């Protein structure tokens, strides 16, 4: 029988519902259970693909090409699972499906309404994902906060599901805020009001996870339990942690595992896996190791969540190598029209240029790449960073002075261009290469040394490609295209022989990095930085 854990949030967004749910999943996985997570996003967008990173953080790409909310990245990293588009449900997806059914006449002339038609669609999709996965426990996070008009149909759907399932198969976790005054007094009223709003919708939380600056005392937990109608042991402190990977251990210390398993009538299936705790201990030790400073040159540097997976991939590699990495965030536009870049990079041991869309900041990124190449500073480029590395090489090594991408300007040398089969597709997203694709690596290259194999599968999110007409002209003076697709027409990796470390990939290797399995290019990049 499938067990369901539903995570909701109150008071304010950004409290950490995603980390809380990912942590619960990790705790259950450590006890031998198979987990399937689902993220519900109440926005009307079909997916996160067209959303501004300044507003929503990074767009995370799954193996099947789905562009989703960044919380699914937390799920994959914490639970070490591979997810697909069906694991992210949005209002846009639900309403599109309901309207399509109505147009086909599937509702047999009924007046189509939120209840039962929209809620039935939500319940059917949750159950379908849960059953198809073959998992023991399905975790569902409902985005936003209780009281948001957008989330009402989803909350009503899970209320109905609770009544339709066995009583011991459903658990509600509510994540809320307990702020502290300047005199360090915890205030429980926001939590009380949040739970009150939830109960007005017919939902009673079984567990309340209280986000707070520091752990709550027992009398505060008792007060919350009394006013919110939950047992004191079901009031869980979730104080600010120095590292998100410590959260599963902190929640476990608070007793969330025992209470959850007792409520759902679960028994421990295997001897507890301590791999996660060991990784956290290694992370603590790495913070005391050799220090590195890596510059990340981006166009969304003001909002670090825009590059969340890159931040985490750096952490994973640093843990493996036992070093402490500080990231220096540099706005790409700040590197344009300046006299020299020494002030920006004099204190860094590596330069990373990530992906991005649009012309803003392009020349600044190209200047950063040129600086890394000329000053022999280890360089890692990702997606757009790969394309700009090719443009920089075309301009400054191959002598094609106005080389550029045809996406951004009219140029005599469109070294980055749409391939023929892409040019007839105009619909947004239609020309994108999204998700997992094979990459074939040339022998006797840095890429082969990094991966230790000649065929890999990596995740992509881009529209333009290296123009095959320029490959031979660009590939000179030590610059090598060391990875491509099966046809040999789509370039995937570029490197420079004789440089301490110059490596760029068309794919996004950060999406497949895991706390206990760091990304090979990120690890090799930091190793080169350490050698510097």
Residues annotated as catalytic are 383, 508, 510
Pairing of strands 433-441, 479-484: antiparallel
Q: What is the DSSP annotation of 160-179?
A: HHHHHS-GGGEEEEEEEE--
Contact 142, 155 (CB under 8 A): yes
Query: SS3 string of 178-199?
Result: CCECCCCCECCHHHHHHHHHHH
Contact 66, 461 (CB under 8 A): no
CA geometry: angle 518, 68, 207, nearest 5 deg: 85
Q: How far lies 152's CA from each of 6, 8, 194, 202, in Å? A: 14, 12, 14, 11
For residues 127 and 121, give the distance between their C-alpha atoms in angstroms, rounded to a whole number.
10
Q: How far lies 458's CA from each of 60, 196, 455, 495, 507, in Å? A: 13, 46, 10, 17, 6
Tokens 């890999």: give the residue: 456
Tokens found for residue 460: 């992509």
For residues 283 and 315, give the distance between their C-alpha atoms in angstroms, rounded to a whole number.
8
CB atoms within 10 A of CB 338: 11
- Exposed, middle or buried, 181 (CB in 10 Å: 0-12/13-18/19+)? exposed
Cα four-point dihedral sign 207, 212, 215, 217: negative
For residues 509 and 382, give the distance between their C-alpha atoms in angstroms, rounded to a whole number.
8
CA geometry: angle 247, 310, 23, nearest 5 deg: 20
112-120 CB contacts, 8 Å cutoff, 24+ apart: 114/152, 114/153, 114/156, 115/156, 118/94, 118/153, 118/157, 119/153, 119/156, 119/157, 119/160
For residues 220 and 235, give the distance between their C-alpha atoms in angstroms, rounded to a whole number.
9
Residue positions counted in the chain: 532
């Amino acid at each position: 029988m499938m067990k369901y854990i539903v995570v909701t949030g109150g008071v304010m967004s950004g409290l950490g519902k995603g980390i809380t749910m990912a942590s619960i999943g990790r705790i259950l996985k450590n006890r031998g259970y198979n987990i399937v997570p689902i993220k519900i996003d109440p926005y009307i967008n079909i997916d996160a693909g067209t959303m501004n990173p300044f507003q929503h953080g990074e767009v995370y790409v799954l193996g099947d090409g789905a562009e989703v909310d960044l919380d699914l990245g937390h799920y994959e990293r914490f639970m070490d699972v591979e997810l697909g588009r069906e694991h992210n449900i949005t209002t846009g997806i639900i309403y599109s499906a309901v309207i399509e059914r109505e147009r086909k006449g599937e509702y047999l002339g009924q007046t189509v309404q939120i209840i039962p038609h929209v809620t039935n669609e939500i319940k059917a999709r949750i159950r379908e994902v849960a059953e198809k996965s073959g998992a023991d426990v399905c975790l569902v996070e409902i985005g936003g906060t209780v009281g948001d008009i957008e989330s009402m149909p989803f909350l009503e759907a899970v209320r109905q599901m609770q009544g339709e399932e066995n009583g011991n198969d459903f658990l509600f976790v509510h994540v809320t805020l307990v702020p502290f005054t300047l005199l360090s007094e915890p205030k429980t009223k926001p939590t009380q009001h949040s739970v009150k709003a939830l109960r007005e919708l017919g939902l009673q939380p079984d567990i309340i996870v209280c986000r707070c600056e520091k752990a709550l005392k027992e009398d505060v937990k008792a007060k919350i339990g009394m006013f919110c109608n939950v047992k004191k042991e079901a009031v869980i402190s979730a104080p600010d942690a120095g590292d998100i990977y410590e959260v599963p251990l902190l929640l476990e210390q608070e007793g969330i595992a025992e209470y959850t398993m007792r409520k759902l009538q679960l028994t421990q299936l295997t001897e507890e896996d301590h791999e996660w705790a060991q990784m956290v201990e290694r992370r603590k030790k790495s913070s005391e190791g050799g220090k590195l400073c890596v510059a990340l040159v981006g166009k969304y540097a003001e909002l670090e969540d825009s590059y969340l997976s890159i931040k985490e991939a750096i952490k994973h590699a640093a843990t493996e190598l036992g070093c402490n990495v500080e990231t220096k965030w540099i706005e790409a536009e700040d590197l344009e029209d300046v006299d020299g870049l020494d002030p920006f990079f004099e204190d860094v041991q590596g330069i990373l240029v990530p992906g991005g869309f649009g012309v803003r900041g392009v020349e600044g990124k190209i200047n950063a790449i040129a600086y890394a190449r000329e000053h022999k500073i280890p360089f890692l480029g990702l997606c757009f960073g790969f394309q700009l590395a090719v443009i920089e090489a075309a301009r400054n090594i191959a002598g094609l002075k106005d080389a550029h991408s045809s996406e951004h300007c009219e140029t005599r040398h469109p070294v980055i261009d749409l391939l023929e089969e892409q040019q007839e597709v105009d619909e947004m997203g239609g020309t994108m290469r999204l998700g997992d694709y094979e990459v074939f690596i040339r022998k006797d290259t840095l890429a082969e040394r990094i991966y230790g194999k000649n065929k890999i599968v990596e995740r992509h999110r881009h529209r333009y490609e290296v123009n095959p007409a320029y490959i031979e002209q660009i590939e000179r003076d030590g610059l090598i295209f060391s990875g491509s697709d099966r046809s040999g027409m789509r370039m995937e990796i570029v490197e420079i022989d004789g440089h301490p470390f110059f490596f760029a990939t068309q794919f996004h290797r950060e999406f497949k990095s895991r706390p206990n399995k760091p990304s090979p290019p990120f690890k090799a990049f930091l190793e080169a930085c350490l050698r510097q």
